[in-house]
């Protein structure tokens, strides 16, 4: 019995390596070098797969999970009620918030009587799983197809409301992130949730 036959194979993909003597051409590596050069040169004439980022940007799918947006309702009030469910659902513990009570003169700013005075997401922790979006009962947080840009300081990756909250004059369309059933339900304006 040879040494190779003694070796037990755990799969049927085992391959016995031959130890045959090299020919003269194989010894001087010349054919192998030519073959390597042929592969290199052949790539000059093939379609380029690299993209000159950031000058050229590849199209991103609309359902790509990138930077979050804190949504406002139709009247521009913040939807988030600081319930904490997104933070609880977040597997990366990336979300922190401080709740506050809405005052009488803040009715036009916040939809619910409790709101997030501070809302922060640590983008270095975030794995863009979308669980926060799934957990939110107020349709207040969604992920968008905006990519988080690179930065130098770790602190600059902690996004507060200044960078998360939807600007009043530049609304984010999140309809691509909602199911057909939800979009149908949202047409019913008798439901206060939909306004």
Minimum distance from residue 135 beta carbon to ligand SF4 (Å)? 5
Phi and psi of 30, rounded to 5°?
Answer: -60, -50
**Which residue, 151, 141, 146, is CA-closest to 97?**
141
Minimum distance from residue 180 beta carbon to ligand SF4 (Å)? 22
Minimum distance from residue 141 beta carbon to ligand SF4 (Å)? 4
Q: How many chain residues bind ligand SF4 (CB under 6 A)?
A: 28
DSSP letter string, 86-145: HHHH-TT--EEEEEEEPPGGGTTTBSSSEEEEEEEEETTT-----HHHHH-TTS-EEE-S
Interface pattern 114-143 for ligand SF4 (x via CB under 6 A) = --x----x----xxxxxxx--xx-x-xx--
Three-state DSSP class for residue 7: coil
Interface pattern 56-85 for ligand SF4 (x via CB under 6 A) = ------------------------xxxxxx
**Which residue, 102, 117, 112, is CA-closest to 161?**
117
- Does residue 92 belong to the site contacting ligand SF4 (CB under 6 A)? yes
Residues 138-177 binding ligand SF4 (CB under 6 A) are 138, 140-141
Residues of this chain that interact with ligand SF4 (CB under 6 A) are 80-86, 89-92, 94-95, 97, 116, 121, 126-132, 135-136, 138, 140-141
């Amino acid at each position: 019995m040879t040494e190779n036959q003694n070796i037990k194979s755990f799969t049927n993909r085992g391959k016995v390596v031959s130890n045959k003597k090299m020919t003269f051409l194989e010894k001087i590596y010349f054919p192998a070098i030519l073959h390597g050069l042929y592969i290199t040169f052949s790539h000059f004439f093939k379609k380029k797969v690299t993209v000159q980022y950031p000058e050229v940007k590849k199209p991103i799918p609309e359902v790509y999970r990138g930077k979050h947006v804190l949504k406002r309702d139709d009247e521009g009030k913040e939807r988030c009620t600081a319930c904490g469910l997104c933070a609880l659902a977040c597997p990366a513990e990336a979300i922190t918030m401080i709740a506050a009570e809405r005052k009488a003169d803040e009715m036009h700013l916040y939809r619910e009587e409790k709101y997030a005075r501070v809302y922060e997401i640590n983008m270095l922790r975030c794995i863009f799983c979308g669980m926060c979006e799934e957990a939110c009962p107020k349709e207040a947080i969604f992920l968008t197809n905006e990519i988080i840009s690179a930065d130098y300081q770790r602190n600059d990756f902690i996004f507060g409301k200044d960078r998360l909250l939807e600007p009043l004059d530049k609304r984010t369309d999140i309809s691509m992130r909602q199911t057909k059933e939800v979009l149908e339900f949202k047409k019913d304006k008798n439901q206060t949730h939909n306004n």
